[in-house]
Structure 1
């Protein structure tokens, strides 16, 4: 009886250890993408910046961005920004706004960082640029209103990446620091 028990336990152990062969995943077969890492300010948090209503041309949103794609940014083509105005102060009228083109920053405007090897550039949007792009006058805005800027990274292979098609690990994570969406609050 003791031998039968040992044989049964050994058989169960042998069956428990059996696995099917799993084929190796080849990295070259994965689809490649990209994202725009915000280097400074870090951590980017919710990507909120402010412009002064009293000094729209002298206040700005500014950050250092790094284009991350396979081969140290080799696939990066442009970073396109759109902007829309969000009117949260009905006391001075209500203005509806849709997203309009703000600027397109070509890969050639980026320079390779010596430390990371990825292309970097300082991206700046002044309050005056925000007004011009949205066709608003200074009287149309008030403290508490905001501009929302959305980025789209375009690659040389025709693919594009934005907050709409990028996962939360990239857009919300501190490591990747790539929100693709920036808020420009109007303050006094």
Structure 2
């Protein structure tokens, strides 16, 4: 059974059971780029991300720490490495007075700070704290706020004088499965919940505002909410579009960020028209009491079909009530 045939006889909808095929296709494209770059590797170098921790900081705790391990690959297996320069900047997402400091050099990692890693290429780890970044940028609490982000950008310098950074990386290099070389990282400033168990347990989901085609995106019913982390929660195994026979089940993630309840983008519903129908953040998010969060009953506003895969996007909402 499909959705669009019910409403638009001249169009075809299909269920995306071909996810595995899409995955193979995307990997295939990435592999082609990998081979091309390896065959002509003298054209550049990459700074591969191996691991990172601390990508979300409590805005009130200036001891919060961030760490990223990177690996250098070039035409001579990392031998062209001169140094890696690290820059920081503030991404001010608040609507009040905008703080816009200049991007500033915070550290330089010389070649001597790297050692050979598991892949045979030089690796090093960069560490910093909220206090260090704020001091480097000349900021204090109030200049940066809950909901803002710090941007950490790296610049790879080679011994032949060439330099590479985020503006030099294509999508396959910055986000591809082989290279994973974005050169730039975001640290989100958040207000953690008092404990991880808030907004978890058994909840009755009730549609408040229908989505596309005037029907509910998510089936009313009792579902389990679990923690992905302190501020990210997931509604497990939700059936979608029961008006058309039902699809899924899918997991639906949302975040509690600085007083707003935000559905994460690109939440697939298990069916599509041209690609896949996705739910995402609302134009106006629901809110919660930042100082005294109450998880007994709350709204989750979202955008139905956020990419307009089938039709124009619609603002929708569900209510979740603890049972």
TM-score tier, shorter chain, comes to 0.7 to 0.9
Q: 1:102, 1:133 → 2: CA distance? A: 7
Q: Which moves more between the two structures, 72-81 or 32-41?
A: 32-41
Question: How far is the alpha carbon of 1:90 from its aligned partner?
Answer: 3.5
Query: Between Structure 1 and Structure 2, whose CA radius of gyration is higher?
Result: 1
* 1:64 correspondence with 2:69: yes
| Residue 60 (structure 2) pairs with residue 49 (structure 1) | no
- Report how far residue 156 of structure 1 moved: 0.4
If asked which structure has higher relative contact order (CA below 8 Å, sep 6+), I would say 1
| Equivalent position to 1:168, from 162, 166, 171 | 171
Partner of 2:85: 80
Any stretches of 5+ residues in structure 1 without a counterpart?
1-26, 42-46
The offset of 1:127, in angstroms, is 0.9
Check the 8 A contact 2:86/2:108 in 1, yes or no. Answer: yes
Alpha-carbon distance between aligned partners in 2 of 1:50 and 1:28, rounded to the nearest angstrom: 38
Structure-2 separation of matches of 1:120 and 1:70: 16
Equivalent residues in 2 for 1:149-160, closer than 5 Å: 149-160=152-163
- Structure 1 contact 50–60 (Cα < 8 Å) conserved: no
Higher percent of residues as strand: 2
Q: Write out aligned runs for 1:6-155 (5 A).
A: 31-41=42-52, 49-57=55-63, 59-91=64-96, 93-113=97-117, 115-155=118-158
TM-score of the superposed pair, with normalisation by structure 1: 0.74
RMSD across aligned positions (CA): 2.2
Tell me how far 1:166 sits from its aligned partner.
2.2
Classify 1:30/1:170 alpha carbon distance in 2 versus 1 (closer, same or farther; 3 Å): closer
Q: Which structure shows the higher helix fraction? A: 1
Q: Residue 144 and residue 30 in structure 1: after superposition, are their counterparts in 2 closer, same or farther (change >3 A)?
A: closer
CA displacement, residues 71-125 of structure 1 (integer Å, 9 cap, x when unaligned): 220001111111111222244x321222111211111101112x31111111112
CA distance in 2, matches of 1:32, 1:60: 35
Give 1:48 shift: 8.5
Instruction: State the TM-score, normalizing by the size of structure 2.
Output: 0.44
1:108 match: secondary structure: helix
SS at match of 2:77: helix
Paired positions, count: 154
